[in-house]
Amino acid sequence: MQRWLLNHLPTALYMALFVLVAVAVAYAILRLVRRLFPSLADGQHNEITVLSVEIVGALYAILLGFVIVFLWQDVNNARDNVGAESTALSQLTRDAQAFAPAAREDVTRAIGRYAHVVVDDEWPLQREGRGSPAGTEAMNNLSAAMQRYEPTTEVQKTYFTASVGHFNDMQAARRIRLSHVGPSLSTSLRFMMYSYFVAIVVFISTVNNGPRHRHTALLLGVTAIIAFNLAFTTTLDYPFSGDGAVASAPFRVGVLAQFFPR
């Protein structure tokens, strides 16, 4: 559901809606607490409640900060890995120019097919969290084209050896790219994050902090800040979805641009 919203709404709108829904839920919890526990208005349990809020809030800040840093690094790693995969493919394209004419044409055609499958087939599916069988097929075809080639001269052998290394680098980068398609956060960690959020809202709702309007403003303000960060973690948890998705541009520039004529 969250991935679908990211892909169909501008990120700013998604985050705004997330915050608004969270604020509405927090206000509903506040009204429910006031209705069910009217005795809390006398403030007799404020000290215990405030201490609980401080402890839970500190733990939650640490957890949320750790998650954001982890996901930010994960997005950067996904973007760097796409660059590594496209670079290896570019180097393989250049190496193939030293092959015998028939093999050069065969391998170059397979490289172009793989680049097109990655950009045209895999990238749209990655936005939805899915892989493409066509990508695996194109990779296998490229591998087969290289295996059919038997270099004869020393120059050809040198470039062929280098091309095998670049092909292996590309395969490794592809595996890492596909591993980033799914969310990085586990279900249990997500549950913990939202449980802490609800706990903070409930605890603040039970604090008698002077006039009701000031208490309400405090609760809704804290809720908005937390909800913004939770929405931000969602955008980071899906590196290939949403407005800020990792782009396929590295596969269409440099020596690989020949496979995408304008």
In a domain, 193, yes or no: no
More reliable by pLDDT, 156 or 52? 156
In a domain, 112, yes or no: yes
Q: How far apart, in whole angstroms, are the C-alpha atoms of residue 160 and residue 141?
A: 17
Across residues 187-216, what is the average pLDDT? 80
Across residues 109-126, what is the average pLDDT? 93
Across residues 114-119, what is the average pLDDT? 93
Tell me, what's the pLDDT at 47? 64
User: What is the chain's alpha carbon radius of gyration, rounded to the nearest angstrom?
Assistant: 26
Indicate whether this model's pTM tops 0.75: yes
Contact 30, 214 (CB under 8 A): no
Tell me, what's the pLDDT at 196? 84
Q: 22-61 pLDDT, tens per residue? A: 999 888 888 887 777 666 555 555 566 667 677 777 888 8
Residue holding tokens 């409930």?
202
* Domain ranges, residue 53: 2-187+198-259
Q: How far apart, in whole angstroms, are the C-alpha atoms of residue 193 and residue 226?
A: 10
Is the alpha carbon torsion for 202, 203, 208, 209 positive or negative? negative
Tell me, what's the pLDDT at 214? 79
Tell me, what's the pLDDT at 174? 92
In a domain, 248, yes or no: yes
In a domain, 164, yes or no: yes
**Length of the chain measured in residues:** 262
In a domain, 82, yes or no: yes
Total number of domains in the chain: 1
In a domain, 192, yes or no: no
Tell me, what's the pLDDT at 82? 93
In a domain, 252, yes or no: yes
